């Protein structure tokens, strides 16, 4: 196809579709080239990004990368991107970059160059894209072949005799009932010392949360029960218990139990180190 | 002198073979040769020479030739596995189908496998989309991919590589047993000369590209 034909293709775009591709008249766009926004979800799932979409258009639709109707593709891209922005901004950005690249390539192809310019210095703008597409295609094929290799737990299975029984069952994580049992035990003891309660000071849960965090600041695991101070009587124990639950809900505490039926232990959760 | 053959409970299977069988069945991972040698030294004070170990493993493998399980060797060592022709039966007995791996995950894995050690940016360059944190986490949690260092460029991005577990899970001994990467496939017939004229010259330009092969 000559550049003259490319120009011919671009110019009547706005008017109607009586354009010629590779010299032959072209009526409609291939039906499955345009993807209606309704099908966007399917579209997003079936392509792994703009390179994958472009490869599909080239391999399946026999789209000639040397004469891609960039204007129309860009228009389609833009329509998808509008919808995509509502759904997956990250993806939209990548398609937008590809649309911009295609438009840039096309504009560079269409611009006349002054005779005698150093044309050998400048690489065909399509080459870099073609190389990227080819490279992507190799890994796309490699990925399919890796998926075909018989894989453990899908196609092949270990034969081994379990020796887990030798180690015994792992200690159970404390269940809510265990916490409640512990609370009941402490409350029972609190009842015994209820008459020692003199102070009418209102105990706030928030304040207690801070105090518990302070208590746990320098210490490793402490017995959960030790946070509930029996001498404070029933209200004090309840406030402490609520404070511990609040802290736990906020992800500030870590629970442990050294052995089955052992004391329930708690400590401050260490700062989570983000992986790079 | 060792007397494995005379101690055989079945022809070809002696105390050493039985010990190896026990060790291999008790392990949930492939057992490296050095661990097998260590296990053998409890049968006989002198650990067998590696050649004797190989011979014993061969006898053990031969013993299983008519059974539904087989002794195989992969990157991490030796393990027993179900013969592949019985996989449908094993699958049918399992309540859950193993999840399919997404194309995005497989492509990321392929790039790491063939280009390792590789940074996320390099993976993104090839795929044309951002590497999802979720995919890297899944690959790391499956112990197929791990961080092996940092590239000495600004930002010191992490370098990723595949693990021995990846090879073991695919039944491969070495990385180069992966299928070879395709050659670059021509998308269009461009002249091999990289510096193409941007505009066709007046007389000779505008040749229609031949159809794709």
What domains are there in chain B, each with its CATH number? 15-92 (1.10.10.10), 103-177 (1.10.10.10)
Whether the predicted pLDDT of B192 surpasses 80: no
Our CA-based measurement puts residue A93 at a distance from the nearest CA of chain B, in whole angstroms, of 9
Residues 6+ apart with CB under 8 A from B213: B186, B189
Of chain B residues 89-148, which have a CB less than 8 A from chain A? 90, 98, 101, 103-104, 106-107, 109-111, 113-114, 125-130, 147
Residues A197 and A234 occupy one common structural domain: yes
Residues 123-182 of A with CB under 8 A from B: 123-127, 130-147, 149-161, 163
Q: What are phi and psi of B72, to 5 degrees?
A: -130, 160
- Extract the tokens encoding B19: 């010990």
> Tokens 């940092």 label which residue?
B150
Same domain, A128 and A37: yes
Cβ of B9: how many Cβ atoms within 10 Å?
9
Q: pLDDT at position B21, please?
A: 92
Average the pLDDT over A175-198 and give the result.
76
A190 and A261 share one domain = yes
- Is position A20 within any domain? yes
- Report yes or no: A268 and A213 within 8 Å, Cβ to Cβ: yes
What integer pLDDT is reported at residue B203 of this predicted model?
38
Report ipTM for this prediction. Answer: 0.73
* Cβ pair A125:B101 closer than 8 A: no
Share of chain B above pLDDT 90, in %: 43
B interface test, pick of A108, A114, A135, A142 with most B CB neighbours within 10 Å: A142
Q: Is residue A276 a part of any domain in this protein?
A: no
Residues A131 and A190 in one domain: no
Chain B contact set for A153 (CB, 8 A): 98, 169
Q: What is the pLDDT of residues B14-68, one digit of tens each?
A: 888 999 999 999 888 899 999 998 888 877 766 677 888 888 999 999 999 899 9
Instruction: Kindly list the residues from chain A whose CB atom is less than 8 angstroms away from the CB atom of residue B80.
Output: 158-160
| Encoded tokens for A7 | 């120009």
Q: Does the pLDDT value for residue A275 go beyond 50?
A: no
User: CB neighbours (10 Å) of residue A263?
Assistant: 16
Please report whether residue A192 resides in a domain: yes
Among A56, A130, A136, A152, the strongest candidate for a mutation testing the B interface, having the largest count of B CBs within 10 A, is A152
Instruction: Please name the residues in contact with A147: beta carbons below 8 A apart, sequence gap of 6 or more.
Output: B101, B106
Q: Is residue A161 part of a domain?
A: no
Task: Compute the residue count for chain B.
Answer: 213
Whether residue A162 is contained in a domain is answered as no
Q: Measured in Å, how far apart are chain B's first and last C-alpha atoms?
A: 67
- Beta strands A19-21 and A24-26, pairing class: antiparallel
pLDDT one-digit tens code per residue, B68-109: 999 999 888 999 999 989 999 998 888 888 888 999 999 999
- Does one domain contain both A105 and A217? no
Whether residue A274 lies inside any domain: the answer is no
A98/A33 Cα distance (integer angstroms):
16
pLDDT tier, A204 (very low <50, low <70, confident <90, very high otherwise): confident
Strand pairing report for A222-223 and A24-26: unpaired
Q: Could you tell me if A15 and A129 lie in one domain?
A: yes
- pLDDT digit string (tens) for A23-34? 444 444 444 445
- Closest-CA distance of chain B to residue A19, Å: 17
Number of domains in chain A: 2
Angstroms from B148 CA to nearest CA on chain A: 12
Cβ of B206 within 8 Å of Cβ of A158? The answer is no
Beta pairing, strands B69-74 & A222-223: unpaired
CA angle (A198, A200, A202) in 5-degree steps:
140
**Do residues A85 and A13 share a domain?**
yes
In CATH, what number is assigned to the domain containing residue A262?
A: 1.10.10.580
What residues of B are in contact with residue A4 (Cβ under 8 Å)? 206
Neighbours of A270 (CB within 10 A): 7
Q: What is the CA radius of gyration of chain B?
A: 26
Residue among B73, B70, B68, B67 nearest B53 (CA): B73
**B1 to chain A, closest Cα gap in Å:** 32
The structure's pTM equals 0.58
- List the A253-257 sheet strands across, edge first: A222-223, A264-268, A253-257
**pLDDT value, residue A140:** 93
Together in a domain, A143 and A260: no
On whether both A90 and A196 belong to a single domain, the answer is: no
Q: What is the DSSP string of B32-67?
A: PHHHHHHHHTTTSSSPPPHHHHHHHHHHHHHHTTTS
Provide the residue range defining the domain that includes A15: 3-111+124-148
Judge if A19 and A132 occupy the same domain: yes
Position A159 in a domain = no
Q: Is B197 on the interface with A (CB under 8 A)?
A: yes
pLDDT band at A167, cuts 50/70/90? Answer: low
Distance from the Cα of residue A151 to its chain's centroid: 25
Q: How many CB pairs under 8 A join A and B?
A: 180
Interface contact flag, B209 A64, Cβ < 8 Å = yes
Cα–Cα separations (whole angstroms), residue B20 to A137, B43, B52, B71: 45, 10, 12, 11
Looking at the structure, tell me whether residues A89 and A180 fall in a common domain.
Answer: no
A7/A141 same-domain check = yes
Min Cα distance A223 → chain B (Å) is 32
pLDDT for B28: 83
Q: Considering the domain boundaries, does residue A117 fall inside one? A: no
Task: List the structure tokens of A41.
Answer: 């979800």
């Amino acid at each position: 196809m000559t550049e003259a034909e490319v120009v011919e293709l671009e110019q009547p775009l706005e008017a109607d579709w009586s354009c010629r591709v590779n010299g032959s008249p072209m009526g409609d766009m291939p039906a499955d080239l345009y993807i209606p926004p309704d099908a966007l979800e399917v579209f997003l799932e079936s392509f792994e990004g703009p390179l994958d979409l472009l490869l599909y258009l080239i391999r399946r639709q026999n789209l000639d990368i040397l004469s891609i109707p960039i204007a129309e593709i860009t228009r389609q891209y833009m329509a998808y991107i509008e919808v995509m922005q509502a759904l997956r901004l990250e993806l939209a950005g990548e398609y937008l970059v590809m649309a911009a690249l295609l438009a840039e390539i096309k504009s560079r192809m269409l611009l006349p160059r002054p005779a005698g310019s150093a044309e050998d210095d400048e690489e065909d703008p399509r080459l870099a894209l073609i190389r990227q597409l080819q490279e992507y295609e190799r890994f796309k094929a490699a990925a399919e072949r890796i998926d075909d290799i018989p894989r453990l737990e899908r196609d092949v299975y270990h034969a081994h005799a379990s020796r887990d029984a030798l180690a015994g069952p792992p200690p159970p994580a404390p269940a809510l009932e265990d916490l409640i049992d512990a609370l009941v035990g402490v409350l029972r003891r609190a009842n015994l010392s209820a008459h020692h309660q003199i102070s009418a000071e209102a105990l706030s849960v928030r304040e207690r949360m801070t105090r518990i965090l302070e208590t746990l600041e320098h210490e490793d695991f402490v017995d959960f029960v030790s946070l509930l101070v029996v001498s404070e009587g029933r209200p004090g124990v309840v406030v402490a218990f609520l404070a511990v639950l609040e802290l736990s809900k906020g992800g500030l505490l870590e629970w442990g139990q050294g052995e089955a039926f052992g004391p329930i232990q708690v400590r401050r959760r260490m700062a989570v180190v983000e992986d790079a | 002198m060792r007397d494995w053959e005379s101690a055989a409970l079945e022809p070809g299977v002696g105390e050493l073979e039985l010990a190896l069988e026990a060790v291999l069945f008790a392990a949930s991972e492939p057992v490296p040769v050095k661990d097998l040698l260590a296990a053998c030294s409890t049968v006989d004070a002198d650990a067998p020479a590696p050649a004797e170990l190989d011979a014993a493993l061969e006898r053990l493998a031969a013993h299983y030739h008519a059974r539904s399980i087989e002794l195989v060797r992969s990157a991490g060592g030796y393990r027993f596995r179900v013969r592949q022709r019985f996989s449908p039966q094993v699958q049918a007995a399992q309540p859950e189908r193993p999840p399919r791996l997404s194309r995005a995950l497989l492509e990321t894995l392929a790039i790491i496998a063939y280009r390792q050690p590789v940074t996320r940016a390099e993976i993104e360059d090839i795929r044309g989309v951002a590497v999802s944190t979720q995919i890297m986490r899944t690959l790391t949690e499956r112990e197929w991919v791990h961080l092996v260092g940092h590239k000495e460029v600004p930002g010191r991005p992490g370098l990723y590589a595949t693990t021995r577990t990846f090879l073991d899970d695919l039944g491969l001994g070495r990385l180069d047993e992966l299928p070879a990467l395709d050659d670059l496939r021509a998308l269009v017939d461009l002249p091999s000369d990289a510096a193409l004229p941007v505009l066709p010259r007046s007389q000779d330009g505008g040749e229609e590209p031949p159809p794709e092969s």
